[in-house]
Amino acid sequence: MAKMLTDVKNEFKTRPLDSWSRAGELRTQLYKNMCEAREKGKLLVAGGTAIPYELMAGLGDFEVLAGETYGGMVATDDSLALECFEALEAEGHGREGCGYYRLMLGSMFLGRGPWGDFPRPDLVVQLNACDSQGKSGQVVAEHFDVPLFCFDVPLTTFMEPATRDQYVDYFASQYHDFVDWVQRVTGRTYDDERLIAAINNTTRSHYLWARICILNQAVPAPLDERALFTLFTPLLLNRDRPEVVAFYEGLLDEVQDRVNNGISALGVEKYRLLHEGQPPWFNLGLFRYPARYGAVFVGSVYTFCIGQSPYVVGPEGNWEPKKPPAEQGITLRTREEALRFLAEWNTDAQFFKRILHVPGKLETVFRAVREWHAQGVVIHLNRGCPGYNEGNMELRMALQKEGIPCMTYEASMTDRRDFTEAPVMDAIDTFMESL
Amino acid sequence: MSGPGVMGKFEEIMKGRHDYARSWKERTGGRVLGYFCTYVPEEIVYAAGILPVRIMGSHEPQDVTEPYLYGGFCPFCRDCLAQGLLGRYEYVEGVAIARSCVHIYQTFDSWQRHLPVSYSHYLSMPSRVTIPSAAGYLRAELVQFQRSLEEWTGAPIPDESLDRAIDIYNTNRRLQREIYELRRGDSPPISGTQAMEMVLSGMFMDKEEHNGLLQELLAQLPGPGGNGSVGTRIMVLGSENDDTEVIRLIESLGGRVVIDDHCSGSRYFWGEVVPGEDRLGALAARYLEKPPCPQKDLVERHRLEHILRLAQEYRVEAAVLIHEKFCDPHEFDNPAIESMFRERGIPCLTLELDTTVPAGQFRTRLEAFLEMLQLEIV
Ligand code: SF4
Ligand code: SF4
Interface predicted TM-score of the whole assembly (ipTM), two decimals = 0.93
Instruction: Yes or no: say if A12 and A221 are a contact pair by the CB < 8 Å rule.
Output: no
Inter-residue contact A174 to A166 (CB < 8 Å) = no
Q: Contact at 8 Å (CB) between B181 and B310?
A: no
- pLDDT confidence of residue A388: 87
Chain B hits for A148, Cβ within 8 Å? 299
The model's confidence at residue A310, banded by pLDDT at 50, 70 and 90, is confident
Instruction: Give the position, in ligand 1's atom list, of the atom nearest the Cα of A131.
Output: 6
Q: How far is A67 from chain B (nearest CA, A)?
A: 15
How far, in Å, CA of A390 to CA of A377, rounded?
16
| Residue A213 CB coordination number (10 Å) | 26
Instruction: Report the SS3 class of residue A298.
Output: strand
Q: Measure CB to CB from residue B133 to each of A128, A132, A170 and give the nearest one.
A: A170
> Three-class SS of residue B319?
strand
Q: Are residues A127 and A152 in contact, defined by beta-carbon separation less than 8 angstroms?
A: yes
Q: Of the candidates B127, B89, B135, which has an alpha carbon nearest to the alpha carbon of residue B108?
A: B89
Q: Please give the C-alpha separations between residue A17 and each of A72, A223, B125, B331, in angstroms, as whole numbers.
A: 23, 9, 46, 43
Q: What percent of chain A has pLDDT over 70?
A: 98
The helix (run of H) or strand (run of E) holding residue B156 is none
B181 HSE (CA, 13 A, CB side): 9
Contact partners, residue A315, CB within 8 Å, separation at least 6:
none
Cα gap A373→A366, rounded to integer Å: 10
What pTM was computed for the model?
Answer: 0.94
Q: What are phi and psi of A275, to 5 degrees?
A: -110, 145
Mean predicted confidence (pLDDT) in A281-308: 92
**What is the DSSP annotation of A90-158?**
HTT--S-S-HHHHHHHHHHHHTEETTEEPPPPSEEEEEESSHHHHHHHHHHHHHHT--EEEEE----SS
A137 in contact with chain B, both atoms CB, cutoff 8 A: yes
B200 contacts B242 by C-beta, under 8 angstroms: yes
Q: Does B326 touch chain A (CB under 8 A)?
A: yes
pLDDT-derived band of residue A148, with 50, 70 and 90 as boundaries? Answer: very high
Residue B223 CB neighbours (<10 A): 9
Q: Do B124 and A130 count as a contact with CB atoms less than 8 A apart?
A: no
Chain B residues 236-255 with a CB less than 8 Å from chain A:
none
Residues 6 or more apart whose CB falls under 8 angstroms from that of A255 comprise A212, A215, A216, A222, A223
Touching B: A residues 150-169, CB under 8 Å: 150-156, 163, 166, 169
Give the pLDDT confidence score for residue B361 in this predicted structure: 86
- Cβ within 8 Å of A, B 173-202: none
Rounded Cα distance between A192 and A184, Å, is 16
Tell whether B134 is within 8 A of chain A (Cβ). Answer: yes
Mutation for testing the B interface, residue in A93, A170, A176, A179 having most B CBs under 10 Å: A170
Question: How far is the alpha carbon of A259 from chain B, nearest alpha carbon, in Å?
Answer: 38
Residues A394, A153: Cα–Cα separation, whole Å? 23
Which of B71, B149, B54 is CA-nearest to residue B106?
A: B71
Stated as kind and residue range, the H or E segment containing A393 is: helix A392-401
- For B92, the enclosing helix (H) or strand (E) is none
Q: Which residues are bridge partners to A150 per DSSP? A: A126
DSSP readout, B323-353?
EETT-HHHHHHHHHHHHHHHHTT--EEEEEE
Shortest-distance atom of ligand 2 to CA B101: 8
> Residue A131: which of B299, B328, B339 has the nearest Cβ?
B328
Touching check for A106 and chain B: CB below 8 Å? no
**Interatomic CA distance for residues B319 and B312, integer angstroms:** 12
SS3 A404: coil
Tens of pLDDT, residues A221-231 = 999 999 999 99
What's the whole-number average pLDDT of chain A?
93
State which of B70, B101, B298, B334 you would mutate to test the pocket of ligand 2, scoring each by most atoms of that ligand within 8 A of its C-beta.
B101
> Which DSSP symbol is given to A288?
G
Asked if residue B321 lies in contact with residue B339, where contact means CB atoms within 8 angstroms, the answer is no
Any residues with CB less than 8 A from the CB of A318 and at least 6 apart, and which? A371
Amino acid identity, residue B15?
K
> pLDDT band at residue A409, thresholds of 50, 70 and 90?
very high
Beta strands in chain B (DSSP E): 32-35, 51-54, 94-98, 119-123, 232-238, 255-261, 318-324, 348-353
Chain A residues inside the 8 Å CB shell of B336:
138-139, 142
Sheet holding B348-353, edge to edge: B255-261, B232-238, B318-324, B348-353
Query: Measured between alpha carbons, how far is B111 from B370 in angstroms, rounded to an integer?
Result: 40
Q: What is the pLDDT of residue A435?
A: 86
User: Which among A137, A407, A134, A159 is positioned nearest to A293, based on CA atoms?
Assistant: A407
Amino acid identity at A330 = I
CB contact under 8 A, A142 and B133: no
The rounded distance, in Å, linking the Cα atoms of B212 and B6 is 10
Q: Are strands A406-411 and B32-35 parallel, antiparallel or unpaired?
A: unpaired
Residue pairs between chains A and B whose CB atoms are closer than 8 Å: 133
Per-residue pLDDT at A7 exceeds 70:
no
As a residue count, chain B comes to 378
Q: What is the Rg, in whole angstroms, of the alpha carbon atoms belonging to chain B?
A: 20
pLDDT(A6) > 60: no
Residue B257: strand pairing partners: B234
Candidates B104, B332, B352, partner chain A, best to mutate (most A CBs within 10 A): B332
Q: Could you tell me whether strands A295-299 and A271-276 are parallel, antiparallel, or unpaired per DSSP bridges?
A: parallel
pLDDT at B3: 42
Q: What is the DSSP pairing of strand A116-117 with strand A112-113?
A: antiparallel
| Best A358, A362, A363, A410 residue to mutate vs chain B (most B CBs within 10 Å) | A358
Q: What is the pLDDT of residue B1?
A: 42
Of A97, A152, A383, the CB nearest to B131: A152
* Element at A407 (helix H, strand E): strand A406-411
Q: How far apart are CA B211 and CA B174, in angstroms?
A: 10
User: How far is CA A201 from its chain centroid?
Assistant: 17
Q: What is the pLDDT of residue A308?
A: 75
Q: Hey, are the CB atoms on B329 and A394 less than 8 Å from each other?
A: no
Give the integer Cα–Cα distance in Å for A184 and A273: 49
Cα angle for residues A121, A279, A14 (degrees, 5° grid): 115
Identify the CA nearest to B56 among candidates B42, B33, B76, B75: B76
Beta bridge partners of A380: A409
Q: Which strand (E) or helix (H) includes residue A196?
A: helix A192-215
For residues B134 and B126, the answer to whether their CB atoms sit within 8 Å is: yes
Span A270-289, pLDDT tens digits: 999 999 999 999 999 999 99
CA A102 to centroid of chain Cα atoms: 17
Which run of H or of E encompasses B119?
strand B119-123
Residues B359, B246 contacting (CB under 8 angstroms): yes
Quote the ligand 2 centre to A393 CA distance (angstroms).
18
Residues of B in contact with A94 (CB under 8 A): 323, 331, 334, 352
3-state SS of chain A: helix, strand, coil percent to 5? Answer: 55, 15, 30
Which residue ranges in chain B fall short of pLDDT 70? 1-4, 224-229, 377-378
Question: Cis omega before residue A16 (within 30°)?
Answer: no
Among candidates A91, A169, A389 on the partner chain, residue whose Cβ is nearest the Cβ of B335? A91
Distance A313 CA to ligand 1 centre (A): 27
Q: What is the pLDDT of residue B89?
A: 97
Rg (chain A; Cα; Å): 21
Cβ–Cβ gap B126/A152 under 8 Å: yes
pLDDT tens track for A323-371: 999 999 999 999 999 999 999 999 887 778 788 888 889 999 999 999 9
What is the average per-residue pLDDT within A234-250?
A: 95
**CB atoms < 10 A from the CB of A180, how many?**
11
| Helices A161-186 and A335-349: angle between axes, nearest 10 degrees | 130
Shortest CA gap A255–chain B (Å): 37
Residues of B in contact with A92 (CB under 8 A): 334-335, 338-339
Q: Say if residues A6 and A237 touch (Cβ distance below 8 Å).
A: no
